[in-house]
Amino acid sequence: MGLGWAGQQHLEAYAARPDVQVVALAGLEADLLASLGTAHGARHLVARWQDLLDVEGLQAVSIAVPTALHAPIAVAALQRGLHVLCEKPIARDAPEAATMVEAARTAGRVLDVVFNHRQRGDVQALRQLVASGELGRPYAARAWWLRRRGIPMLGSWFTNAEASGGGPLVDIGVHCLDWALHVLGEPRVVAASAVTFSELGPRGLGGSRGGSKSLTGAASAYEVEDLAHAFLRLEGGGLLQLETSWAMFRETEDQLGMTVTGTDGGAELVVRGAPAPVGDLRVFTDSPLTADGEAADRTVPVRPGRGHAAVVDAFVGVVRGDPSAWKDHDGSLALDRARVIDACYASARQNREVVL
């Protein structure tokens, strides 16, 4: 469900698998629905998601629609015994996400959420570097995704608080949060202190990207942040800083990345572009030393990841695998991410640290 960029990524990944058949598509864009239906051999083409759930023979659905629709569609699909792959964020907030997780547990079906950036080859290489112990104990990290003109179309559902749940923090910041905690080995976030700013969007600045209309068809005022900073305390005394923007005065290219500071070394991943398939990953240590006594820092070679294709492959593998493993894929990790994002927004509103 959903025919935009994300939905098409799902479609292409499913189509690449000989053991998967695309049975039905749902979307409001009639011409696009027809062309994608023809390209992927889908027998049932419908406008309403409710009608798609009535199609017989479905085993699983992909959800790539505005965030406000994630929970109602996922819960309805799970209650019908369907497995669900949902785009990030899991929902507008943690209470909505919790209804999805509960529905998955009650139905005994898979609920996976698309965190495709942890599938990047450079992020995986950074994760392996930390897990190897070369950096020692990681105690401080920073993750960011910054855009200069990246508001997904002013006046669309993205900039409507009721439809989206927030701005860049919940949209792309949740990616930063996910890959950072993944790299660090999933430490628990125990407290959040955050600030958000809405300086450019309300003035009509920073909106050069394409996007869909609001859910009502009418243009929305700019109701969300365009820049967010968060300071996350981790269990055991560690720190993770998040920085994410849709619009700010900076260099033109998007940039995302992560730094990790450990007791025995550090690492920095910087990806320049929108985003580029591969970034630059560097390691900083005091040993071994070069002949002149300088630290022998190095660049780690990395390969592109598979993004959505890897996510879809993992989802299909779980669905087709041992049903006893389905309970381990109930969306609870994405729910944890939602709770952290909620704490960040609460901190920004209340101007204080929020304990999770």
Q: Which two tokens mark 81?
A: 């015994």
In this prediction, residue 155 carries a pLDDT of 87
DSSP output for 6-37: HHHHHHHHHHT-TT----EEE-S-HHHHHHHH
Distance from C-alpha of 322 to C-alpha of 324, rounded to nearest angstrom: 5
In this prediction, residue 253 carries a pLDDT of 94
In this prediction, residue 142 carries a pLDDT of 98
Is residue 285 within 8 Å of 265, Cβ to Cβ? Answer: yes
Query: Mean pLDDT for each 10-residue chunk of the chain (356 residues)?
Result: 93 95 95 94 95 95 97 98 98 98 98 97 98 97 97 91 96 98 98 98 82 60 96 97 97 96 97 92 81 74 94 97 97 98 98 98
Q: Which residue has the tokens 């779980």?
A: 318
Closest CA to 183 of 89, 257, 103: 257
Domains parsed from the chain with CATH numbers: 5-115+310-330 (3.40.50.720), 121-304 (3.30.360.10)
Closest CA to 7 of 57, 61, 52: 61
In this prediction, residue 343 carries a pLDDT of 98
Distance from C-alpha of 42 to C-alpha of 61, rounded to nearest angstrom: 13
Is residue 25 within 8 Å of 48, Cβ to Cβ? Answer: no
Closest CA to 123 of 9, 309, 245, 259: 259
User: Side-chain half-sphere of 51: how many Cα atoms within 13 Å?
Assistant: 10
Collapsing DSSP to helix, strand or coil, 164 comes out as: helix
Positive or negative torsion for Cα 332, 334, 339, 342:
negative
Distance from C-alpha of 98 to C-alpha of 87, rounded to nearest angstrom: 16
- Sequence-distant (6+) residues with CB within 8 A of 16 are 309
Q: Which two tokens mark 44?
A: 């049932």
